[in-house]
């Protein structure tokens, strides 16, 4: 009994000597024997499937896979779009206060050509992509028949001179002409106080089907694409194309994006080039600057149909001199279109195909007598006609 009281007294003394707030230390407890618990089987986080590398041998000029757009060399996000005719839409370039245009960044191909009185107009081809709004749409010219025939396209435009209309309406593609009217998909919008004619490409395709226009996949073979730039190019950090004192444009190569950026005239320049002022040309639908993988300058015969008013026949048939720009390099090549229903292609002097870079192409059509200048800053083309 005395021994028990002694032990209790000793414990009270030790507890009293412990600092305030310090918890009692637990007595040592033997560790339990560890029991192995099976871990869940490790599952690797799935990596995104990389896009297949572009075929080193390229694609085209014939035998394109069913899901590849033969006008860009790229796989279509929606291959069903390739089961239709391309859509050719006339888009204006003047007046400047109607810029920026809508929808051009969604086009596979754009042709720019001289019309009259110092101006140019665009004809944009939509095939592998749709655009909700394209425009402002303006009137047709004789040149447009080359594009409608070559690309088997539907043509949307806002009327034309009676002589142009007569030629178009008497052509074999007359049923593929779409002009503004109460039952057509062309509509008017009024940004900034302007009444502009525009189109939705998907609605335009549906309209063509509803009219019974022969649709389905067309033979659009002819272009050749390779991802790697070919040898033999010369540095081309920029190129300018001057059509007149009112219309001149500049393309600057963006090495990070691998595309040429479009800049357009900001004011008239009557000094022959010393007073040119440029500003980025945007797509009003996206707010982004227009950028194309390829820019091609075509030297083509211009025949005067009428001097008053000024009207030109531009003969985009046969072959001629061309300059192709891709990957910051310039190449002198030959354009060819040997049949009215043929797509325009590029070849070397020996006839072998020149490779476009996969992506969109902008064609600048200049007169056969046009000038070419080259210096360390880039290339310059001056449009001239007979």
pLDDT digits (tens, 9 = 90+) for 298-357: 999 999 999 999 999 999 999 999 999 999 999 999 999 999 999 999 999 999 999 999
Fold (topology level) of 79-382: YerB-like fold (3.50.90)
pLDDT at 32: 33
pLDDT digits (tens, 9 = 90+) for 70-127: 999 999 999 999 999 999 999 999 999 999 999 999 999 999 999 999 999 999 999 9
pLDDT at 194: 87
Asked whether 88 and 274 are in contact (CB, 8 A), the reply is no
In sequence order, which residues have a C-beta less than 8 Å from that of residue 268 and are 6 or more positions away? 245, 246
| Average pLDDT, rounded, for the chain | 89
Mean pLDDT confidence for 128-150: 98
Q: Please check the confidence at residue 41 and state whether its pLDDT lies above 70.
A: no
Q: Please check the confidence at residue 37 and state whether its pLDDT lies above 70.
A: no
Q: Alpha-carbon Rg of the chain, whole angstroms? A: 33
Q: Any idea which of 22-26, 103-107, 281-285, 349-353 has the lowest mean pLDDT?
A: 22-26
Q: In the structure encoding, which two tokens stand for residue 46, read together?
A: 């799935």
Closest CA to 134 of 203, 83, 192, 78: 203
pLDDT at 215: 85
pLDDT at 132: 97
pLDDT at 42: 35
Q: Please check the confidence at residue 224 and state whether its pLDDT lies above 50.
A: yes
Cα separation, 96 vs 265, whole angstroms: 9
Asked whether the CA dihedral 122, 128, 129, 133 is positive or negative, the reply is: positive
pLDDT at 280: 98
Q: Please check the confidence at residue 24 and state whether its pLDDT lies above 90.
A: no
Q: In the structure encoding, which two tokens stand for residue 211, read together?
A: 């009219």
Burial grade of 235 (CB within 10 A; 0-12, 13-18, 19 or more): middle
Residue carrying the six token digits 């069903």 = 80
Asked whether 378 and 238 are in contact (CB, 8 A), the reply is yes
Cα separation, 170 vs 218, whole angstroms: 22
pLDDT at 193: 79
- In this prediction, what percent of the chain has a pLDDT beyond 90? 83
Mean pLDDT confidence for 282-294: 98
- Neighbour tally for 221: CB within 10 Å: 15
pLDDT at 38: 38
Asked whether 347 and 337 are in contact (CB, 8 A), the reply is no
pLDDT digits (tens, 9 = 90+) for 355-372: 999 999 999 999 999 999
- In this prediction, what percent of the chain has a pLDDT beyond 70? 87
pLDDT at 35: 33
Q: Please check the confidence at residue 4 and state whether its pLDDT lies above 90.
A: no
Q: Please check the confidence at residue 44 and state whether its pLDDT lies above 70.
A: no
Task: Specify the higher pLDDT residue, 20 or 338.
Answer: 338
Give the count of alpha carbons within 13 A of 291, CB side only: 14
């Amino acid at each position: 009994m005395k021994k028990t009281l002694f032990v209790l007294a000793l414990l009270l003394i030790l507890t009293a000597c412990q600092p305030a707030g310090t918890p009692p230390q637990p007595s040592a407890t033997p560790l339990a024997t560890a029991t192995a618990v099976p871990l869940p089987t490790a599952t690797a986080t799935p990596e995104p499937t990389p896009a297949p590398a572009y075929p080193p041998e390229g694609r085209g000029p014939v035998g394109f896979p069913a899901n590849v757009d033969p006008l860009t060399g790229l796989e279509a996000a929606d291959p069903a779009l390739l089961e239709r005719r391309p859509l050719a839409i006339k888009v204006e370039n003047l007046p400047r206060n109607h810029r920026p245009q809508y929808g051009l960044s969604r086009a596979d191909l754009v042709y720019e050509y001289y019309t009259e009185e110092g101006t140019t107009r665009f004809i944009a081809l939509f095939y592998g992509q749709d655009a909700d709004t394209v425009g402002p749409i303006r009137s047709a010219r004789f040149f447009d028949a080359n594009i409608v025939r070559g690309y088997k396209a539907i043509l949307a435009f806002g009327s034309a001179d009676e002589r142009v209309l007569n030629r178009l309406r008497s052509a074999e593609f007359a049923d593929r002409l779409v002009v503004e009217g109460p039952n057509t998909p062309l509509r008017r919008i009024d940004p900034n106080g302007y009444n502009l004619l525009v189109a939705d490409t998907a609605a335009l395709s549906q309209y063509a089907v509803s009219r019974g226009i022969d649709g389905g996949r067309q033979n659009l073979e002819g272009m050749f694409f390779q991802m790697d730039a070919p040898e033999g190019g010369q540095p081309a950090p920029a190129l300018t194309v001057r059509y007149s004192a009112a219309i001149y444009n500049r393309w600057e190569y963006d090495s990070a994006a691998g595309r040429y950026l479009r800049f357009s005239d900001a004011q008239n320049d009557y000094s022959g080039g010393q007073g040119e002022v440029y500003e980025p040309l945007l797509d009003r639908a996206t707010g982004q600057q227009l950028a194309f993988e390829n820019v091609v300058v075509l030297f083509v015969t211009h025949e005067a149909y009428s001097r008053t008013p000024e009207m030109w026949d531009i003969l985009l048939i046969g072959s001629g001199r061309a300059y192709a720009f891709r990957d910051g390099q310039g190449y002198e090549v030959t354009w060819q279109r040997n049949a009215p229903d043929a797509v325009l292609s590029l070849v070397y002097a020996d006839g072998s195909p020149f490779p476009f870079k996969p992506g969109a192409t902008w064609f600048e059509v200049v007169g056969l007598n046009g000038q070419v200048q080259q210096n360390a800053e880039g290339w310059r083309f001056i449009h001239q006609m007979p």
